[in-house]
Structure 1
Amino acid sequence: MKRADLDTITVLSAIRDHEGGAYGVLAERFPPKVVLAAFAREDRARRTEYGVAEHLPWLTAKGRATLRAAERQRITLTRVVQTCYACPSQWDAWDADGRYYYLRYRWGVGTVETQPGPDMNTWTDREPLASFEHGDDLSGTISLTDFMALAGLTLAPGAEVS
């Protein structure tokens, strides 16, 4: 991997996905000095912070917002299954890498969350990748086409939709 490949989104994603193990994961692909320089760059930009050791950073609100914005632009769904039609309208969805997304619209608010899979017993509290307001406080029905447009998601050509 080239040094240029260690961009902001790669660093922030590793910290989000691997927490304290992000340094080790990135150091397998990049020289350790390059990883530490990238961590320092993100700290200066206030997208991360660290306590006692710079190789153990965590995301700040700015870092989480940067990552959510970038991911919204990149999410292309290849499979979408509607699990409820109204109050809420909701779908289970996956991208080409097998990453799972929970799409939900209720009370006039749409959210896109990433979770380990559709089994709710495995879910943890996470900030939505995307959210939007549409309709009024009693709105709970929306089409997949409208939901995806308002959330900034893309459906892959030939995607499986049911």
Structure 2
Amino acid sequence: MFDDDIDTNYLRVTCRFCPTQLEGETPDGRHVYFRYRWGVASVDIDGEHVWSERLGDDYDGVMDTDEAKRIAASVAAGFVPVRPS
């Protein structure tokens, strides 16, 4: 679904509990913010909401750090998966 080989080293965990949150700056200087709360993962770039998707149930707010980084970095790189209808 998301790019497994993408560089995620620029992202740092800002909350290890609920909600899972990451922040970082891409190599080209864009600020990336990832949040997983209420089962919805979302990505903001430079303060603008660019992507969100429900990935869990209403009470889910904790995600594996590597998965969260992979999602955030993939969206920041312009790779947004299209789910089949």
Q: TM-score normalised by the shorter chain: which range applies?
A: 0.5 to 0.7
RMSD: 2.6
What is the rounded CA distance, in whole Å, between the counterparts of 1:149 and 1:92 in structure 2? Answer: 13
Normalised TM-score (structure 1): 0.37
Deviations 1:20-70 (A, max 9, x none): xxxxxxxxxxxxxxxxxxxxxxxxxxxxxxxxxxxxxxxxxxxxxxxxxxx
Q: Which has the larger radius of gyration?
A: 1
- Counterpart in 2 of 1:153? 74
What is the rounded CA distance, in whole Å, between the counterparts of 1:91 and 1:78 in structure 2? Answer: 11
Contact 1:131–1:151 (CA under 8 A) maintained in structure 2? no
Report the AA paired with residue 109 of structure 1.
V
Higher strand share: 2
Q: Which has the higher contact order (CA 8 A, sep 6+)?
A: 2
Higher helix share: 1
What is the rounded CA distance, in whole Å, between the counterparts of 2:50 and 2:14 in structure 1? Answer: 20
Contact 2:32–2:72 (CA under 8 A) maintained in structure 1? no
Q: CA deviation at 1:76?
A: 5.3
The aligned length equals 71
Contact 1:130–1:151 (CA under 8 A) maintained in structure 2? no
What is the rounded CA distance, in whole Å, between the counterparts of 2:10 and 2:23 in structure 1? Answer: 8
SS of 1:81 mapped into structure 2: strand
Q: CA deviation at 1:90?
A: 0.1
What is the rounded CA distance, in whole Å, between the counterparts of 2:73 and 2:37 in structure 1? Answer: 18
Of the three residues 97, 103, 111, the one matched with 2:34 is 103
Contact 2:34–2:41 (CA under 8 A) maintained in structure 1? yes
Gaps of 5+ in 2: 76-85
What is the rounded CA distance, in whole Å, between the counterparts of 1:152 and 1:97 in structure 2? Answer: 13
Gaps of 5+ in 1: 1-72, 116-122, 155-162
What is the rounded CA distance, in whole Å, between the counterparts of 1:92 and 1:152 in structure 2? Answer: 10
Instruction: Report 1:32-47 matches (<5 A).
Output: none
